Structure 1
Amino acid sequence: MKALHTLKIVALAVFLTASFAAPDADAQRKRGEQAALYPDATRKSPTGGYAPRLAKQHQKLQSIYTEEGREQEAIALAEEIINNERAKPYDKAIALMTAGTVAVSMDDEARGIDYFERAIAEDALVNDNHYNLMINLAALYVNASQFDKADPLLARLIAETSTKNPDVYAMQASSFYNNGKYAEAIASLKKATEYKGEAQPQWNSMMLGAYAELGQDDQAIALGEEILAKNPDDKRAISNLALLYSNNDQPAKAVALLDGARKRGLLNEPADYERIFSTYYNMEQEAQAAAVIEEGLAKGILPQEAKYYTMVAQAQYFAENIAPAITAAQKAAELSKDGEPGLFLAQVLSQEDRNPEAMAAARAAIAKGVKSPGTAWMVIARSEYYSENMAAAKAAYREAAKDPATREQAQKALAQISR
């Protein structure tokens, strides 16, 4: 159950006033404007401010950096501040953070990462900005699959702040999961759930996947059943548990779960019907498999495509329901852009001694194109033979002998009827 859990970047909080009278969050809190986001942080929040001669540049930067179409101008202005010899660490950190925000808005995440890394390295931002910036940088790392950078950064953030933000732990779990650290991912997801009060659907999916990757199938199934018991009509929970059952040699439970959901009208997408079909088919319950696809086609859930009629035809054939198998194969051959369904139809018709129809279907399949033309010619040859058309049978075997896949078989048959 390997899957990427991409996280959206959380919004940057740039705690600056329009007049720049209070350039840091600590000053704002003294006026009662907001509570600290990281009250338990071990880092002492810096109290530095802007270089007075750069105030106008900062003010302009903050006024334009969110304006559409002025992104390059904003980055250029930020670079002027960063490279100014009068710039203090705080000036550089704010400019780097702002430039990174603009770069990310332009989908230039690599550049955003560079700016954010340098802003954090200045170690000059107030705690709220400093740690929010860490969260955003970690999110960028995760989205860029740079998990070996995300993992230590998030560990540092948690260690320094003792944060109880569930989204931080969920992001950490995502990074661990996609970095193959499944036990660590489970621990982080448990923390996220503890602080959130309840697990989110995507967290449950990740937890199930982590258990499965660790081979802890019993725990995965137990969790899946617990989740479903709380939300019996949750389609995601049904699909996840059915997959777990199937992967653990419990197909009967899987199909009962899926088919029960189908009958309750919860499954209404092609993939749902294909999953139920496959489960029934692998259990050698071909008639039930065919019935599922037939229902999907009748209800319009499945499109009128050759592949679905082929699925019905094959299932009905192996269920020894030949008449409906032929009907479905005929429809599949009609809809298909290639001749493969028609070849299957020809083979079934030949086995039923419906030789003229078999030959017509085989020729139509060849005309549309098949992977092994020789197989179609073998059907024609046998049908001609049993119709006592020896000359035509020999000619068909010669055609079959041109195909490497049927050459040996065709040559032997030709030798036998030529004696």
Structure 2
Amino acid sequence: MKLAAVVFLAASLSVGTADAARREKAEEPKIDYPDATRESPKAENSPRLGKQIQKMFDLYNEGEDMEGAIKIAEEVLASDRAKPYDRGVALMIAGNAALGVDDYGRAISYLERALEENALPNNNHYATMHTLASVYAQEDKIPEAVAMIDRMIAETKSKDPDVYGLKGGIHYNAGQYDLAIDAIKRAIELKTDGAPESNWLQMLMAAYNETGRDAEAVALAEQLQKQSPDDKRTLLNLASLYAQTDMTDKAAALLDDARSRGMLTEQKDYEILYAIYLNMDGKEADAAKVIQEGLDKGILKADAKTYTFLAQSLYFSDQVDAAIAAYQKAAPLASDGETALALSQILTNEDRNQEAKAAAQQALSKGLKKPGEAWMVIARSEYYMDNFEAAKVAYREAAKDPATRDQAQKALAQISR
């Protein structure tokens, strides 16, 4: 779960004009960090740079010319007239503008310098910290991200759930799952104005799973699925947890219900369900049903893999003729002869000797790891069709393969008496 960079831009920054001053007096800006230990600096800027800074703001807010905003920011930074506040504003805007063009390296540099300038009001100073922590995480600078978000929390005594949500995400991406759990649970606790963010809950569930707290992971996944029964991602997560925690019957029931409601719309959805059925005792017929439906709907590819799984499912549910038909579709599509070999062995068991011989020959032509197995099928087929000399020839070929040598030599000895 990658963290998206979070961009903050407060509208209460002073640009040095008389109108701006009047607006600041008329509208006291909201204090986002009332418990901050840092004393918020006064916004003292150079009036002569007001137009440039306003233009920089306009370009940024319009969103069409981020490089233009950065260019003006650099001009402000190069000006002898620039006060610390002007420099802080320019660096903050340049950093956010760099994010707007996905230049994370430049963004980090500007935002770090904005904090070092230490001249922005608290709202913007700490918003910049929040943004920088997120960008660090985006760039896999985990120690820096953790240090920045922890510094922000320590200095602001923040009770903002989004801050703890970000902290949880940083720890989660770093594989620090216990810390992620603590932070996300704190975010959920602080979120009093509505439901917790779904990505927090997904991360919490995954962190529980990663730390072996399976019962808590399943309980949370069940809660999420109950809240959003038609959310496919939530349903698949729960099914995956059921499968991982040896509750395959629940996984199968959940996914089969989703299938009946038309929620399984992708190849992998059907593959997950039929794989679960194939790993359950006595559920091969259900697997075959799912595979056939996936083929009929065009969701599963009509390829060697799918037809082979269909054939296996049918064969082990005693639907032998249907299994043979599926293998006959799979064998020509396979990249080697293993599928044709399996077909030939089933045909032999069914006394369909001419077909078995043909399938074994097809297997040899496509290549086998153990060619002797195909020659054994050919030899038996010839024998049961009373072609004894041809059977001997085939057994001699099978004897050349170490995997079937002993078996072939014994059979050859018996029919040569």
1:315 and 2:342 correspond? no
With over 3 angstroms needed to count, the CA separation of the structure-2 counterparts of 1:289 and 1:33, relative to structure 1, is same
Give the C-alpha shift of residue 313 in structure 1: 0.8
* Deviation at residue 255 of structure 1 after TM alignment: 1.7
The answer on 1:229 being equivalent to 2:226 is yes
Select between 409-418 and 319-328 the one with higher mean Cα deviation: 409-418
Question: Which segments of 5 or more consecutive residues in structure 1 lack a partner in the other structure?
Answer: none
How does 1:289-368 map onto structure 2 within 5 Å?
289-336=287-334, 339-368=337-366
Report the equivalent of 1:142.
137
CA–CA separation in structure 1 for the residues paired with 2:391 and 2:339? 23
Tell me what 2:91 maps to: 96
For residues 292 and 241 of structure 2, the distance between their equivalents in structure 1, rounded to whole angstroms, comes to 26
Amino acid at match of 2:91: L
TM-score by length of 2: 0.84
Residue 202 of structure 2 aligns with an amino acid whose one-letter code is S
Give the counterpart letter for 1:318 in structure 2. Answer: F
Mapped to 2, the partners of 1:397 and 1:75 lie a distance apart of 81
- Which string of whole-angstrom CA distances, capped at 9 and with x for unpartnered residues, describes residues 9-41 of structure 1? 2233054779642799x9854331642333333
* Helix, strand or coil at the partner of 1:320: coil
1:244 paired residue number: 241
The answer to whether residue 190 in structure 2 is matched with residue 195 in structure 1 is yes
Contact 1:193/1:199, CA 8 A, preserved across alignment: yes
Give the 3-state SS of the residue equivalent to 2:403 in structure 1: helix
Name the SS of the counterpart of 1:163 in structure 2. Answer: coil
Q: Which residue of 2 aligns with 1:47?
A: 42
Unmatched segments (≥5 aa) in structure 2: none
**In the alignment, is residue 38 of structure 1 matched against residue 36 of structure 2?**
no
Counterpart residue type for residue 297 of structure 2: K
Please say if residues 304 and 334 of structure 2, whose CA atoms lie closer than 8 Å, have aligned partners that are also in contact: yes
User: Which residue matches 1:175?
Assistant: 170
Relative distance call for 1:409 and 1:119 in structure 2 (3 A) is same
Residues 122-163 of structure 1: CA deviation (Å, up to 9, x unaligned)? 211122221221121111122222222212211222232233
Pair 64,222 (structure 1): closer, same or farther in 2 beyond 3 Å = closer
Using the size of structure 1 for normalisation, the TM-score is 0.84
Distance 2:25 2:375 in 1: 89
How far off is 1:408 after superposition?
Answer: 0.8
Aligned AA (1:183) = D
Cα displacement (A) at 1:388: 4.9
Question: Which residue among 7, 12, 16 is the counterpart of 1:11?
Answer: 7
Q: Deviations over 1:244-291 (max 9, x none)?
A: 222222222222222233223333332222222122111122111111
Once the 2 structures are TM-superposed, how far is the Cα of residue 232 of structure 1 from its aligned partner? 3.6
The equivalent position to 1:409 in structure 2, one of 375, 383, 403, is 403
Say if 2:120 is the partner of 1:125: yes
Instruction: Measure the CA separation in 1 of the matches of 2:164 and 2:91.
Output: 26
Compared with structure 1, are the counterparts of its residues 384 and 94 closer, same or farther at alpha carbon in structure 2 (3 Å cutoff)? farther
How many residue pairs match? The answer is: 410
Task: Answer whether contact 2:292 2:310 (CA < 8 A) is retained.
Answer: yes
Question: Per-residue displacement from partner, 1:171-207 (whole Å, max 9, x unpaired)?
Answer: 2111111222222222222232233332333222211
